[in-house]
Each structure stands twice: as C-alpha cells, then as structure tokens.
A and B are shown apart, each in its own frame.
Chain A
Amino acid sequence: MSALAVNLNRRLREGAGSAWFPYLLVAPLALVLWGYVVQPMLATFVESVSEDGTANYAVFFSSSGVARASLFTSLFISLASVLLCGVVGVGMAFLLKRFAFPGRRLIEAFILVPAALPPLIGAIAFQLLYSDIGILPRALQQLFGAERPVLAFDDIAGVLVVHTFTMYPFFYLAASAALAGMDPSVEEAAYNLGAGRLRVWRTVLLPMLTPAMVSASLLVFMTSLASYTAPLLFGVSQTMTMQIYINRTNGDLPMASTYASVLGIVSILFLLLMRWYEGRRSYRSQSKGVAHQRREILNPFGRWLALAASILATLVLLAPVATIALVAFSEDGSWTSEVIPSAYTVENFITIFTDPKSLQPILNSVQMSLIATVGCVVIGVLIAYAVRRLNFRGRALLDMAVMISWALPGTVVAINLISAFSTGSTFSLGQALIGTFWIIPLAYFVRFLPMVFRSSSAALAVVDPTLEEAARNLGASWWRAFRTITLRLMLPGVIVGALLAFVHGVGEFVASVLIYTSSTVPISVAINNRMYSFELGTAAAYGMLQIVLIFVVMWFSSRLENGGRQAEQWTN
C-alpha cells in the first residue's frame, strides 16, 4: 500500500507520460465505481435469486398477478408521459421560439420552475392543487355547487399530470435547442423552392427535429419509469417502483430485488439505446447565418388573446410553488374541506428552526448531502479528467459505469445498497452499513456523482489540453499543472456540479425513504411523515426551505456560468 503510494507520488511529481500512469490514477476510481455502483447491482441480482431461484422472475410472465400488471402499468404511464410531454414541450418550444407576442418573456422566465422542484415536494404541490383534496377541484365544486370536487385528477391521471408538468422541459429544451441550432436558410430554401408553410413544417422542420425528439422521448421514458413519488402520492400502487417499496417494507427483500433488477436492466437498456442513438446523426448546422426571426402576432384580437393565455400559463407554472408557500403559512390541521386553508401563522417556520426534534432533519440532510457532495467532487472530477484526457484501456467502461449510476432509478440504487451492504463487505471496511448513518450519504454519492461528472466533463471540454502541456513544458509536475491550470479553469463547472449535487441531496426522497433510520431522517422523509400525520403546514414549511435553497443555487449557478444552457441540468 505505502509502496504504491510512494510510487504514485513519484509518478505525480515526475511524468504523467508513461504508458501506465493512467492506470495508477484510474485504478482507485474504477474500484469506487465497481464497489458502489456495479457490484451492488450484482448483489441485488444474487439476492433476487437467493431463495426461490428464478421463480421470482417467472411472476412477470404469468398472465395474472401484481408483477405483470405493475410492469404494464409502469410502461403505460411512461409511454403516456412521453406523448403528453412531447405535445406540451414541442408546442411550447415552437410557440416561444418562433412567435413574438405579448407575455412571451414572462412564460420564458418561469417555464422551468415546476421541473426544478424537488421530487417529493413537487408531487405534493400537484396533489394539493389538482387531486380531489386539491384547491382547483374544490374551488370548481364550490363554484358549481357540485357534490364532489370537479375535474379532480386521481390515480394514473394524477401521476400523468405530475409527469407532464415536471418532464415536458426535456422536450422543450431539446426542441428549443434544435430550433436554435437549425440553419434558417434551409427553411428559406424550402420556401424559395415553392413549398407552402404546412409543407415546410411537415417536410423540413419536423424531420430536422427528429433526433432531438427521440433523445427527449428516451429521457422522459426513463425518468417516468423511475418515478416514485407521483405514484406514491396518487395511490397507484401497481408500478415497478411502488412494488419495490412495498415488498421492501413487507420484508420480502428477494422480491423487492427482483423488481429492482428488472427495473435496473430496463433502465440500462434505455441508456444503451440513448447512447447508440446519440452517436448517430444530428442536424445541427455549422452555418453562422442570421438567427431566425420570430413571427410577430399582429392581429389585435390575437395579441390580447396571447397576453391572456400567457398570464394564465404563467399562473399555472407558478401555482405549485405558490401553493406550497401558502400552505407553509397555514396552521397544522386547519385545512379540512375548505378550498384553501382557513388559519394562518408563521409558527411552522419557527418550529422547524427552534424545536430540536424538528430541526434535526434539516441538519441531517445538510450534513449527509455535504459529505456526499465532497465525495462526488473528488471522484467526479477525477473521472471526468480520466475519461476526457487520459488514454487507457477500459475508458469506455469507466464512462459507462458513471452513466449507469445516472440511469438507475433512486429506488433501485437504494435496493442495490441494501443488498450489498446489509452485511459487511470489503467496500464498507467489513461493516454492515444498513442501519448506520453512512448508508444515506453513500446513496446520495451514487445518485449524484453523474451530475458532478457531467458538469466537470463539460467544463473540461472547453479547456484546451495544450494549456496543461504548456505548464508541464515550463517545468510544472503533473499534479501542479493539474491543480494550477486544468482544475482552476474547470472550477466554475465543478462548482455548478457540486451545488447541483448538494441541492439534489437536500431534496432527495426516493432512495432515502428506503434506507433511513430514526436518527438519520432527512428533510423529505420528515415532510412525508408530517403529511401522514396531517401536519400540512409544517410539511410545506420544510418544502419551502428546499425550494428557496434550489432557487438561490439556481440563480447563483446562472451567474457563475452565465448562460441559459445550464438550465437543462435542473430538470431532473
């Protein structure tokens, strides 16, 4: 061990040029990814066949039963989500990028807000807005004097509402980017050759958008498949993620592992499909021609209509945050059958900061997320460097391992860690991690490592490799050149990635809920518990903290990188 360290030290000082230097750097990284991403996945599979062999998997093929129904429901929800998000996202992109009308900037400013909410509090917000206990159906009920809430979304419909609002940005951003990257002269050429507007859309614009749309579809499909909070809150128990949770809480770990393995494999297949597709063509043009002019809406009636629609759309976009803010100031237990809560107070915020028991989840989340973030930064930056800059066998595998941890649903990550670390293992220094403090930071690390990796990798892509060579040429050791030049220049990207990881850690619910202990309750689990005990006000107050943190960090990151392109990182 020490001989290795001395050797590594010598290598870092002297030459990074030798053929085996990369392996020295990559070996520990590969070990981390193997130990905490790949090997737990295999442990889950082993767990799934531990008791009844492959019998657990047979249930997916029997015509009746929960397993098959869950698989089909999950697939159906995912497919429906793709369609809905596609229509909304592409429509919005065309509307906002191709037309000029009053109120356009208002919508553009808030278009990503619903998607930026943490998963649990986001789903709660939609539940409080659109389900049969929601503000809108009850308001309509009162308005029409109906017996039951009007236009209430429940069950699968509710899940689809949440998915549409939180995932359409995948399509919106992809379509916007494709429209912006499209050479306007191509479209003009079509008009010039005599095509009408409809024909141009059908034969030129839509085909050119196809690659972006396929990528977005795959992303939405994967994200929907991994979705857990929406089915939880809208009571759709027959989905893959819910079955994992239910089997785990019933103590049937082999069955939970079976679901997790199936879901994991499907997710990885989709990842591979996505990578394969992205490796193919794209229609982005290199031309630096004039940007496309937006079509001005000139008809006065149309302008008023557009303005009204814009304001309405803005209200819809802001409604989830507004709802949480409103409820956060309501007295616990004061909201029963009214349209909106009847009694208000600031007590909720005072409680969560002063009552030690209520403060604990906040401290837990911050601490666990910080630890995970530090791990993500150290490992993520080095993996990004290795993948982008070093030449070694197995580079694609390293890259792939990080992407797997991105593709795996949070629920599956949690089950993987349970399978791997419920007893001692080499990678936990012989200790069982389940039931200890360390399991949650580890889960956050696995889930959010890809964020730091991607953002570091993107930052590294624009740092000219010859800069590091120049430093080496001037006499700097590899470590010094890396530290003073490469790392320094990729720092903004690393910070953005770290902030992302931290914020997502503070908002994390999906994996936490499967592995928390009574002394490591994170904020989101506390929110969930308060919701159960009908303390909506306190739950929303916690949620408000998460939301404020997100918007502060979002604002800070956009200043740091000053560009709207980073926005896509937030829709996760």
Chain B
Amino acid sequence: MIDVKLRSVSKRFSRGGDAAAVDDVSLTIAAGEFFTLLGPSGCGKTTTLRMVAGFAFPTAGQIHFGDQDVTRLAPNKRDAGMVFQNYALFPHMTVAQNVAYGLKVRKIGRAASAERIEQALAQVHLAGYGTRRIDQLSGGQQQRVALARALVIRPRILLLDEPLSNLDAKLREETRSEIRRIQREAGTTALYVTHDQAEAMAMSDRIAVMYGGKVQQVGTPHEVYHRPANAFVARFIGRSNVLELPVAEASADGLELRLPSGARIGIGAPEGHGLKSGDTALVSARPEQVRLAGPTADGALPGKVTGIEFTGMATNLTVDVAGDELMVSVVDAPDGIKIDDQVGLLLAPHRLWVVKP
C-alpha cells in the first residue's frame, strides 16, 4: 500500500495556450484510501487521472507514488492498474488471456499465473468464465473482467475512469458496492473518476470536487455535502438553494443574518470567512432541510408555490419568495397542496452554511 501525492500539477495542451486543463492541483491520496475526483465534464478530472496513469505528462508539478517520483515515468513502468471507461478489453483474447496479459508482460511463471488468474476471476465472481470470448459477456461482466485484469498485477494504485457509466442504473448501484468490497479486500489505494455525485458520495472515503481545472474542495462525502466550500460545490453536490442574505453582525465563528422578513437568524460559519457587518453572505440551504409551514408561521419566509413534482419518496416544490425561486423537498407534503398556494418556509440555522462565491 502506498500513498500518492500530486504537487502543484498543471497541464496545458497547447503551448503557451489559454486555459490550463489542470491548474495547480495538489492532492494527497492516503494509502488504502478510496479517493474520488468528481466534477462536470471538462473539469480536468480525467486529465488528472491520465497523468497519474502516465498517458499524459504534467506541464508543471510532480507526482509521487510513495517515495518515487513518477512524474515523467512511462505508463508501463508505473504498476498502476487502470479500469477504462469502455473497459478496453482486448477483443481478440479470451477472458483468461485478457487477465493474463499483465502477468505475461511481467514474466510470471505459468503455474503462478494460472493461480492468480483463477483467484482474480473468483474475486469478481467470474470463476469458470476464463475461456469465454469478450463479446459473449454482458456489460457488467466485461466491467468485472476489466477490474480483474487491473487487480491481478497487484497494482500500487488502482485507477478507475468512470467505470460505471456504461451500465444501466440498477446494475450501477450493485456494482459500486461490489467495487468498493473488492478494493477493500485487495487493500489497494484507489483513484476514482466520475461526474456522478451520488456515485462519489456512496463509494468514496474522500472526494476532490473539481471545476475549471482547479480543485474546489477536498473532503469526506459528509463534509462536501454539508459544508460545501463554495457556491459551485453547493450546487454541484446534490441540489442547493444559495441565498444572498445581508450580514447584521459578524464574529469569528458565527454570523447574524437578516432574513427578508426582517427577522434575524444566527448561524455558524467557517473560520476566516472574512465577512463583516453590512456585507452580503452566500448561504447554502439544502431543499430537504427547508421546512414547510403555514404562511404566517413564526420566523417563516412567506412565499407562493410555483411548481410541484411528486417523486414518490418526496415532493419537490418550488416556492417563490420575494422574487427568488427556492427548492423545497418534503417527505410528507400536506394533502391537496397545489400551485399558487401561500406557504411559509422555515430555515434550520444549524443546517445553513456560508459558502464562498
């Protein structure tokens, strides 16, 4: 088990070109950790992964596997097992031959090789599939062959590039816990790339949220959800109402904000928030943490329902509060609620979080 460090890694594709695809990214992935790069397409997450794999070299910065500087090391010298988005299984080889490829390159003896292949296939629940051709496998099975092929070489780090994106929704949920189990059993450090925040939340020890080539926030799923560093993270992870509220009073770790109704609300804020009285604070409020009340309830923001969407699990409402559309998600919506109803919205102070713009 090794840790992986990225130090101020940048990548520009065109010489002296405009924007960097990856801009000054520094990350430490702890040994044995399941670490996820999460962000919308074009955010630089895949480029970062490819630099760790050695398919692209950083324009600046270093990458370390443990104590070894691998920044400009050829991909075949890295011992980094990768699962590709499209699996990249060799179509002219059987399942066993695919898994054997990395062992053959490493000149592992026939007997030891056969044992490791069998073990790897058993680990992904494909024992007995060795002689199958790739096109005889389902998408989920192909995905598991790719995983076995990457793990059988006992990589120093396992790289996964959106490995679930080609599976259907139900299989995707099954497979993600499966990948997590196998990674834990193998005890391998894993770097996972996805644009799917639910996937990232469910699987990761820690997540780095990326946007515009930069890391926006690194944290546990709980941290990035409940304490988003900025408005982008708040909106990208789950859904969030980002409110602009004037600051009435500021202290080192707390703020008093003035609601449109005139009432004041006291909330916690991260240290070094830098806001002072009279500033406008950006406050993130998750839809499921906004409570629905009568239009005249104490301390409630009065508003008018403009949209209703029943999803089974919850009812998602959009409520117009003094010209701003707020999202509200309630598990037990009052029967008969309909468009144009007047309602009040209650904000829970301990679930409001000040974010940077």
Contacts and interface: CB of A to CB of B under 8 A. Distances in A.
Nearest to B13: A391
Contacts of A395: none
A484 B91 CA distance: 12
Given A17-B55, A474-B153, A467 B90 contact: yes
B102 interface: yes
B90 A470 contact: yes
Interface in A238-254: none
A466 B57 contact: no
Interface stretch (A116-124, A195-203, A396-404, A475-483): A475-483
A485 B77 CA distance: 18
B113 to A, nearest CB: 13
Interface in B73-126: 73-82, 84-86, 88-92, 101-102, 105-106
Given A17-B55, A469-B55, A489-B91, A477 B84 contact: no
Nearest to A391: B13
A472 B88 contact: no
Contacts of B80: 473
B53 interface: yes
A475 B55 contact: no
A470 B88 contact: yes
Given A14-B77, A17-B55, A469-B84, A489 B101 contact: no
Nearest to B78: A473
B92 A466 contact: no
A471 interface: yes
Of B84, B88, B89, the most chain A CB neighbours within 10 A belong to B88
Interface string A305-333: 00000000000000000000000000000
Given A14-B77, A15-B75, A473 B53 contact: yes
Contact of B75 (A464, A466, A472, A488): A472
Interface in A445-500: 464, 466-467, 469-478, 480-481, 484-485, 488-489
Given A466-B86, A469-B84, A488-B92, A474 B54 contact: no
Contacts of B90: 467, 470-471, 485
Given A467-B90, A474-B81, A475-B153, A14 B101 contact: no
A363 to B, nearest CB: 37
B91 A17 contact: no
Interface residues of B, number: 32
B5 interface: no
A214 B153 CA distance: 54
B92 A464 contact: no
B195 interface: no
Contacts of A17: 54-57, 74-75
Contact of B76 (A464, A477, A485): A477
Contacts of B84: 466, 469-470
B86 A476 contact: no
Interface of A is mostly: helix
B149 interface: yes
Nearest to B53: A473
Contacts of A467: 88, 90-91
B96 to A, nearest CB: 14
Contacts of A466: 84-86, 88
Interface string A353-391: 000000000000000000000000000000000000000
Interface in B36-82: 53-57, 72-82
B129 to A, nearest CB: 19
Contacts of B75: 15, 17, 469, 472-473
Nearest to A491: B92
B290 to A, nearest CB: 44
Contacts of B82: 469-470, 473
Contacts of B85: 466
Nearest to A467: B88
A96 B353 CA distance: 71
A476 B81 CA distance: 12
Given A464-B88, A466-B86, A489-B92, A473 B81 contact: yes
B91 A475 contact: no
A16 B77 CA distance: 12
Contacts of A16: 74
Contacts of B72: 15, 18
A14 B54 CA distance: 12
Nearest to B56: A17
B53 A476 contact: no
Contacts of A481: 76
Contacts of A18: 57, 72
Contacts of A469: 53, 55, 75, 82, 84, 88
B53 A474 contact: no
B149 A474 contact: yes
A97 to B, nearest CB: 31
B106 A475 contact: yes
Contacts of A477: 76
Given A17-B57, A470-B82, A481-B76, 19 more contacts: A14-B74, A16-B74, A464-B86, A466-B86, A466-B88, A467-B90, A467-B91, A469-B53, A469-B55, A469-B75, A469-B84, A470-B84, A470-B149, A471-B90, A474-B81, A474-B153, A475-B153, A476-B101, A488-B92
29 contacts: A15-B54, A15-B75, A17-B56, A17-B57, A17-B75, A18-B57, A18-B72, A464-B86, A464-B88, A466-B86, A467-B91, A469-B55, A469-B88, A470-B89, A472-B55, A472-B75, A472-B76, A473-B81, A473-B82, A474-B81, A474-B105, A475-B76, A475-B105, A475-B106, A475-B153, A476-B101, A478-B76, A485-B90, A489-B92
Which 10 A-B pairs have CB atoms at the shortest separation, nearest pair first?
A15-B74, A474-B102, A470-B88, A466-B88, A475-B105, A472-B75, A473-B82, A14-B74, A475-B76, A466-B84
